[in-house]
Structure 1
């Protein structure tokens, strides 16, 4: 038997549908909903919390409760290497990006240098971007690129488009695979926090060493992705 909160949750969903409130529209205050449904404000608050956890509402304290719409899941197999842009587009969503920064480091960080077998004094370019799906931030990438490749794929010190395609068509470097380590970043990680836009938005971190057809290490990436949006699987055989 459905609980009182579950019943009110369904009534709120019916109200949103029947009243024609669109995405971004505002829900009436909790007190008004409690009076309309003849229940306590606590029950209404609990129902709203459930809807927020499902990504259907966004509660902004001091501003109100707004209608939102959860993005569909973006599935991907872990045994295949797809770019973030490819995964977003394959789900039928509009992909876009926000360039956060491009920095030149005169010496390569120790961890990156060891993974890519670079000299510590070899300069690298650090490209940082936030990726969006239908206007919502779903991934954040930090890419370490050897300077000799970066200076070919970047135009006037800027960058846009698919990293994989730019590597292949501008630098003649075809990325064919990656060694990927999947971890859960700390909630205090500033790069992860920028993707935690709602209570259900957990984040995964992929540390990825990319290599080309000659097995040369050509790119190292920290890819933060929202686990409520990206779904990964792998087939395991016995």
Structure 2
């Protein structure tokens, strides 16, 4: 087990102790030396666990004073910090997903997608377009660009269904670890945007997302159009 895995294990054990009330909100934790001995890990490993808890807002580290358990902030619905699948995002909006319409073509890569993926414009990509419905109305439209050089004949040998992230990982053997996301407002003349304009009050957000594998290599680029009257996104800003 590597150091990160050990730190994660200690973090989870410490979380259980906090949830059980062994260490209460406002209470100072024992010293690093005592705690690392208690968990039978190195001080470095224990510091890694504390760092994770600090980033999650579960503890407050006052240098030169000590480490204190604090009350966690309420969760934020649809935070952009976590990489959700489209289906998860629909369910998080308390909607029941109905049918979806899918098209898959092998085409020359357009310039914007090629630039994001680090390939030449015109290189072959699989273009997966999907309209997701909930309550019998379209709520999300995704256009995904997947380089043919990366996936070979994977999309021709296997029938795509369900979550794209899960399909890429379980069927094609590529693990997605993270994504860079740009939030944009599409023009009303954008044809993809127009397919979601169901009501006079409907507005649309566009998430442009570049997904990376474990080695930080670009895997696929997506343009996710989402109805803003259905989906809301939040960020917790700190200083």
Name the TM tier (shorter chain). Answer: 0.5 to 0.7
Q: For residue 21 of structure 1, what is the aligned residue in structure 2?
A: none
Q: Which runs of 5+ in 2 are unaligned?
A: 1-75
Q: In the TM superposition, what whole-angstrom CA distance separates every residue of 1:37-78 from its partner, at most 9, and x where no partner exists?
A: xxxxxxxxxxxxxxxxxxxxxxxxxxxxxxxxxxxxx94001
Q: 91, 96, 110: which one pairs with 1:89?
A: 91
Q: Against the structure 1 CA distance between its residues 206 and 99, is the aligned structure 2 distance closer, same or farther, given a 3 Å change threshold?
A: same
8 Å contact kept, 2:109–2:122: yes
Q: How does 1:9-24 map to 2 (within 5 A)?
A: none
5 Å matches for 1:72-221? 75-105=77-107, 107-147=108-148, 148-149=150-151, 151-155=153-157, 158-221=159-222
The one-character-per-residue Cα deviations of 1:90-146 (angstroms, maximum 9, x if unpaired) are 3442223433422211x3222212211113353101111101123221000000011
Per-residue CA distance 1:3-33 (angstroms, 9 max, x = gap): xxxxxxxxxxxxxxxxxxxxxxxxxxxxxxx
- Shift in Å, 1:233: 0.1
Asked if structure 1 preserves the Cα contact closer than 8 Å seen for 2:93 and 2:230, the reply is: no
Q: Secondary structure at 2:187's aligned position in 1?
A: coil
**TM-score, normalisation: structure 2:** 0.63
Supply the RMSD in Å over aligned alpha carbons: 2.0
Distance, in Å, in 2 between the alignment partners of 1:150 and 1:99 is: 24
Q: Which runs of 4+ in 1 moved over 6 A?
A: none
The number of equivalent residue pairs is 163
Higher alpha-carbon deviation: 162-171 or 78-87 = 78-87
